[in-house]
A and B are shown apart, each in its own frame.
Chain A
Amino acid sequence: MTMFFTRRLAAAALAVLVAATACSADDDAAPQDGPDVLRVLAGSEVKDLEPLLKEAADAVGVRVSLTYAGTLDGAEQVASGGADGRYDATWFSSNRYLSLIDGAPAKLSTQTKIMISPVVLGLKRSKAHELGWDTKQVSWADIATAAGQKRFTFGMTNPASSNSGFSALVGVTAALSNAADALDAKQIAAVTPKLKEFFSAQTLTAGSSGWLADAYAGQGGQTSVDGLINYESVLLGMEKRVKEPLTIIYPSDGVVTADYPLTLLASSAKKDLYGKLATWLRTPDVQRKIMTTTFRRPILPEVRPDQRFGTAQLVELPFPNRRSTADGLISAYLNRVRRPSRTLFVLDTSGSMKGERLDSLKQALSALTGADTTASGQFSRFRDRETVTLLPFNSGPETPQSFTVPESNPDPVLKQIRSYGDALEARGGTAIYDSLRAAYQTLESRPSGNDFTSIVLMTDGDNTDGSSYDDFASYYATTSRTIRTFVVLFGDSDVGEMQQVAKLTGGASFDARKGSLASAFKEIRGYQ
């Protein structure tokens, strides 16, 4: 399973990179095109529709080529014109955020809603019973109270990378805010203390809904998360994969629902292909298939949702109508609301990194200190309250250097991190496992209760000095085994071994071999 999502993430990272370098001669990585091919820029949420989409070739003669991107990344690609000419259509779980970006609506032509899934809470059956939520109506306020009392824990995706997290954040904020109409900046400030209480129970984060579900289903005895906030479809789809079934809680005060609009880009000439695919997806047979194979509710009113979706009335919570509100909410979540992050970067500064590679490492670090001024860049910077530790290595680990970004006026510390990165020099050998071990020792010696703690391992070559992977695996077994390592494939790194490290620690791998380190680092931020 780790291998599966590791590869998927790598592909997603690559897709993002491809678009980011749209002007360079990177054309071999562009989605394949042809007269019967519809090139679709999609959220990874729709990956489960791939088998069904293959049928579209026989049914209506449309071959669908999907490239995956995160919510904000995808929205930025469309709004900036980066998607023009590369894609014919988009298929994200919602166009709401995208529509709020200046100039973006003009990039979109016809939008066709295909299916529906609300973002709700799924909780282990025993936990739901213990809280009494299996028999009575529960509101987000009830959930927030129980969260504040530490009576349960949950996982949710990062709102800056994934629509399910963003929808959940909007929903929870709208519900906990006393205001009855759409959110604005003032209401966000007022509701922040309540949000802090709610999100104090979040102990698992992820950059995508699929990875979150995988991590939840695969969790061992040490970490134990009681539930997930995710699409109803993801929660229903987990039934066969979890030891203990999930009880789905439909909060009585409302939800935010994804409607998956297949959207023609105004720049595309393939209006006919788009029309054929959209019409086919909305035929009753296909709608039923979507419902039974992916657990999403049909959009076609003639096809009624079956009994698995329950009968609860789902009140839709209002969604912000200004980008500044949406961005303000994400920023509040990252910098003030959620548990702080503790992040350790194990950075290869061996001789082979000299020149271009070291430069791109410096650039990647610098981007995370605020130099990337795009919205997604700003949301992936080192957050207020985050402790960042840099551990460069060559023939052995160097002394780790820690920085804590303060809650107000973060700039001076961000500058310090940038200066530290800029001063890195490349020389010597590559002691990967001694250094990774040093990273774990550093973090384990400074336990820090509730922070999201993770390691990023970046290396451009084989292990040349010190202990081996097997030595590290034996050492890892003696640790608390709660800290995930996200590995970055770069240069000539040993792909197999790196993926083993990711699998062993419950992390994931990100491929920066064809693109930039900056993009890989940025994507990993969704998991930290």
Chain B
Amino acid sequence: MKRWIGVGLALLLGAAVVVAIVIGGGDDGPGGGGTALKTVRGVIGSEKKPFFDDPQVKAAFAKHGLQVEVDTAGSRQIATSVDLGKYDFAFPSSVPAAEKIKQDRHASQTFSPFYSPMAIATFQPIVDVLTKAGVVRDSGSGYQILDVRKYLDLVAKGTRWDTLPGNTAYQARKRVLLTTTDVRTSNSAAMYLAITSYVANGDDVVNSSSQTAKAAQTVSPLFLDQGYSESSSEAPFEDYLAMGVGKTPMVVVYEAQYASRLFAGDGSIRPDMRLIYPSPTVLSKHTLVPFNDAATQVGALLQDDPEFARLEAKYGFRTSDPKVFTAQADAAKAKLPASLVDVVEPPTYDHLERLIATIEQRYLAEGKPAS
């Protein structure tokens, strides 16, 4: 799902919402029953759209007299270009973006109701090949990890799949590269950038402009050499599910994308599919910034109400109480780690933005026709 929402569309949608409430009296608002619901409007990262669209979630809000309407946009857009004046809250998928919004809007508090670690969706034969290459190994805590340092070394050498020793499973001539979304627009790629820049910076969060410049130099091929990448996190994951190893041998995802499929038991996760974790990884902390009291109520419900916690876990998100997620996983017989060991913090908004801007420059610079 794409998240560019033009100002015109947002205006029109705003009008449509108002009209629907005046005329319809909330006829599709579950539990409406004559009581007028208070509409709260938010702009959110696209990966949370299915959650907000869920009738059970709508019903849970209605119990509290609320109807939450959402538009989607990329976290970077929410922090920079979206006109937040039209919304009651912003709900980007990362702390750096939320920090920036909080500052710009002078919000007094934020809510972090749930999070999802960055993970890698792949296939057993790929895991086997990368294990032989020393890039993937067991974490010792019940899940497998991709060693980001070793992965960066492999990429720096321009390694191709068909040159990996002992690889009979995936004889492709293309480069060994994790598929990501477009880092210029998408939060999941920005989180991956947070991970790889940490490793490129000698296992430390980048926090100066000389560090960002140097790290960007190392990690930009991870994005540019992929060629075309899609703008939203759902697209490459769909390719992974539908087209399999040929198109997408390994893709950077939010754990929640994979987990929600497992929990739904819809058969889309087939027996040879695997979820592994980069080491280190970062947590995509979905953070709600309220601009008024009604939005503060939404944030508090999402963060503190057990009914919402259960619904959030259904969508694969981890909440403050780890038991809620574990219960979902157990019920679905899904083998997902209760907790992850090697987790690092993303850079601050300014440094992450500078990293992205530097990579963006390289798209432009190398885009000039060769003379």
Contacts and interface: CB of A to CB of B under 8 A. Distances in A.
A272 B160 CA distance: 45
Given A113-B238, A268-B9, 19 more contacts: A100-B228, A108-B4, A175-B173, A185-B369, A253-B173, A254-B172, A259-B239, A271-B13, A272-B16, A297-B242, A298-B242, A302-B267, A315-B172, A315-B173, A319-B227, A320-B228, A322-B367, A323-B367, A324-B369
Interface of A: 96, 99-100, 105-113, 116, 175, 180-186, 189, 252-254, 257, 259, 263, 266-269, 271-272, 297-302, 313-325, 328
Interface stretch (B32-40, B129-137, B229-237, B338-346): B229-237
A316 B173 CA distance: 10
14 contacts: A105-B4, A106-B4, A109-B5, A111-B1, A116-B242, A254-B174, A268-B9, A299-B242, A313-B245, A314-B243, A317-B174, A320-B227, A321-B226, A321-B229
Contacts of A100: 228
Nearest to B364: A322
B275 to A, nearest CB: 15
A181 B4 contact: no
A112 B238 CA distance: 10
B303 interface: no
Contact of A99 (B8, B16, B231, B247): B231
Contacts of A314: 243, 246-247
Interface string B1-23: 11011101100110010000000
Contact of B227 (A257, A301, A318): A318
Interface string B218-256: 000000111111011001001101111111100000000
Interface residues of B, number: 49
A183 B5 CA distance: 31
B363 A269 contact: no
Contacts of B244: 313
B223 to A, nearest CB: 9
A106 B6 contact: yes
A107 B9 CA distance: 10
B228 A318 contact: yes
B293 interface: no
B185 interface: yes
Contacts of B232: 111
B228 A257 contact: no
Nearest to A263: B2
B313 to A, nearest CB: 22
A283 to B, nearest CB: 13
Interface of B: 1-2, 4-6, 8-9, 12-13, 16, 72, 158, 160, 171-175, 177, 185, 224-229, 231-232, 235, 238-239, 241-248, 266-268, 270, 363, 366-370
Contacts of B12: 269
A316 B232 CA distance: 19
Contact of B6 (A96, A185, A267): A267
A253 B170 CA distance: 11
Interface-central residue, B8, B241, B367, by most chain A CB under 10 Å:
B367
Given A301-B242, A302-B266, A302-B268, A321 B224 contact: yes
**What is the interface of chain B mostly: helix, strand, loop, or mixed?**
loop
Contacts of B363: 321-322
Nearest to B241: A301
A116 B227 contact: no
Nearest to A318: B227
Contacts of A253: 172-173
Contacts of B224: 182, 321
Contacts of A185: 369-370
Contacts of B1: 110-112
Nearest to B163: A180
B228 A321 contact: yes
Contacts of B6: 106-107, 109, 266-267
Contact of B175 (A112, A181, A266, A271): A181
A54 B229 CA distance: 33
Contact of B368 (A263, A299, A324): A324
Nearest to B267: A302
A271 B8 CA distance: 12
Contacts of A109: 2, 4-6, 9
Contact of A105 (B231, B268, B367): B231
A324 B369 CA distance: 6
Contact of B370 (A189, A299, A301): A189
A266 B9 contact: yes
B238 A186 contact: no
A182 B225 CA distance: 6
A323 B177 CA distance: 22
Contacts of B243: 116, 257, 297, 314, 316
Given A111-B2, A314-B246, A319 B370 contact: no
Nearest to A188: B370
A108 B244 CA distance: 27
A30 to B, nearest CB: 19
Contacts of A116: 242-243
B246 A316 contact: yes
Contacts of B174: 180-181, 254, 315, 317-318
Contacts of B175: 180-181
Contacts of B228: 96, 99-100, 182, 318-321
A325 B369 CA distance: 8
Contacts of A313: 244-246
Contacts of A325: 367
Given A106-B6, A315-B172, A321 B227 contact: yes
Interface-central residue, B72, B226, B248, by most chain A CB under 10 Å:
B226
A428 to B, nearest CB: 47
B227 A181 contact: yes
A156 to B, nearest CB: 21
B246 A322 contact: no
Nearest to B371: A185
A180 B158 contact: yes
Contact of B4 (A182, A183, A266, A315): A266
B183 to A, nearest CB: 11
A269 B9 contact: yes
Contacts of B247: 257, 314-316
Q: A-B pairs with the 7 shortest C-beta distances?
A: A182-B227, A266-B6, A318-B227, A301-B268, A301-B241, A319-B228, A316-B247
B195 to A, nearest CB: 21
A79 to B, nearest CB: 13
Given A109-B5, A266-B8, A322 B226 contact: no
A96 B370 CA distance: 22
B267 A316 contact: no
A112 B234 CA distance: 10
